[in-house]
């Protein structure tokens, strides 16, 4: 084959792979959305494109007195917003300290961050349960926030620290010569320049409570404290439950706040990709 034919084969292969990935990602979403529009509750009789589609399940989630969907949604938004905010605060402060200061135990602290990333969260479930029960935060949204924030620090701090290292230290020295203190340098120089990586940390920590099931299952006990993942699971796991179409409707609505936050942070994410491609 000549060079032109090789390029054509490469292009066809690339588009074929992209098409397969698109189908794998979009096909389950289309099925879930189609199931949510089926007026019945039977999963086996549901169709991807229903003949008599209806928004009755969405209406039930928000208006029926027996539905706790709004409570679960509110709980998840509280946990997601609090986890995202406090994770950004503690992660940026920790990363700034490791990036700009030299202190006893700094190297071992970085090693500890690397080691902590290697172990799955499941290994700490018993310890998390005992800790939250000891401090009285079991079956509490703030106990769940505490776990999410603490668990996000090792990996994200190491990530943000690497970004802070790319910011020239000459900017810090110039600010110090002008009389700026440590906190002023942090808030007026480091934070504005690190907005792209901070946006990434905020987005990932906002998404986690919407997707996670294991931690809420261990920490939360009362239905009024459930998050969306746990509440929707119990909706279809109850004995003789046949609410898969309602479950599909509730699952589709989970994407709404995540999409809004993603669109709000999109310009920072794009600028982060662009700056990462130009830095040597």
CA distance 78 to 224: 13
Split into its structural domains, the chain has a count of: 2
Residues 258-278 pLDDT 10s: 888 888 888 777 665 555 434
CA distance 87 to 202: 7
pLDDT-based confidence at 126, cuts 50/70/90?
Answer: confident
CA distance 154 to 91: 8
pTM: 0.84
**What CATH number did the domain enclosing 99 receive?**
1.10.3720.10
Residues 85-96 pLDDT 10s: 999 999 999 999
pLDDT-based confidence at 30, cuts 50/70/90?
Answer: confident
Do 33 and 158 reside in the same domain of the chain?
no
Instruction: Please count the residues of the chain.
Output: 280
Do 121 and 254 reside in the same domain of the chain?
yes
Do 38 and 71 reside in the same domain of the chain?
no
pLDDT-based confidence at 143, cuts 50/70/90?
Answer: very high
Do 247 and 146 reside in the same domain of the chain?
yes
Contact between 57 and 245 (Cβ < 8 Å): yes
CA distance 80 to 260: 13
Instruction: Domain of residue 49: give its range.
Output: 3-59
Do 161 and 46 reside in the same domain of the chain?
no
Q: Give which of 158, 149, 129 is closest to 220, Cα–Cα.
A: 129
Do 154 and 27 reside in the same domain of the chain?
no
Do 37 and 119 reside in the same domain of the chain?
no
Residues near 197 by beta carbon (within 8 Å), at least 6 away in sequence? 159, 160, 163, 272
The number of C-alpha atoms within 13 Å of 90 and in the hemisphere containing its C-beta is 18
Q: Among 23-32, 200-209, 210-219, whose mean pLDDT is lowest?
A: 23-32
Residues near 83 by beta carbon (within 8 Å), at least 6 away in sequence? 145, 148, 149, 152, 205, 206, 208, 209
Do 128 and 47 reside in the same domain of the chain?
no
């Amino acid at each position: 084959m000549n060079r032109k034919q090789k390029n054509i084969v490469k292009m066809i292969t690339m588009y074929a792979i992209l098409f397969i990935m698109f189908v794998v990602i979009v096909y389950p979403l289309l099925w879930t959305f189609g199931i949510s529009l089926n007026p019945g509750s039977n999963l086996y009789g549901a169709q991807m494109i229903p003949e008599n589609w209806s928004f009755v399940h969405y209406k039930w989630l928000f208006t029926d007195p027996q539905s706790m969907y709004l409570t679960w949604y509110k709980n998840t938004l509280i946990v997601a917003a609090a986890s995202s905010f406090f994770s950004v605060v503690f992660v940026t402060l920790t990363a700034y300290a490791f990036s700009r200061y030299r202190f006893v135990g700094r190297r071992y602290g970085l090693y500890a961050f690397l080691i902590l990333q290697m172990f799955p969260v499941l290994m700490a479930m018993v310890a998390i349960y005992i800790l939250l029960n000891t401090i009285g935060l079991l079956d509490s949204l703030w106990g769940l926030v505490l776990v999410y924030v603490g668990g996000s620090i090792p990996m994200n701090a190491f990530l943000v620290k690497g970004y802070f290292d790319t910011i020239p230290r000459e900017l810090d020295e110039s600010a110090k010569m002008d009389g700026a203190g440590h906190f002023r340098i942090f808030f007026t120089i480091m934070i504005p320049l690190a907005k792209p990586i901070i946006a990434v940390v905020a987005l990932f920590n906002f998404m986690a409570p919407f997707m996670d099931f294991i931690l809420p299952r261990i920490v939360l006990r009362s239905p009024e404290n459930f998050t969306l993942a746990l509440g929707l699971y119990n909706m279809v796991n109850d004995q003789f439950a046949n609410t898969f179409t309602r479950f599909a409707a509730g699952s589709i609505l989970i994407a709404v706040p995540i999409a809004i936050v993603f669109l709000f942070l999109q310009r920072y994410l794009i600028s982060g990709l662009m700056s990462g491609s130009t830095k040597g």
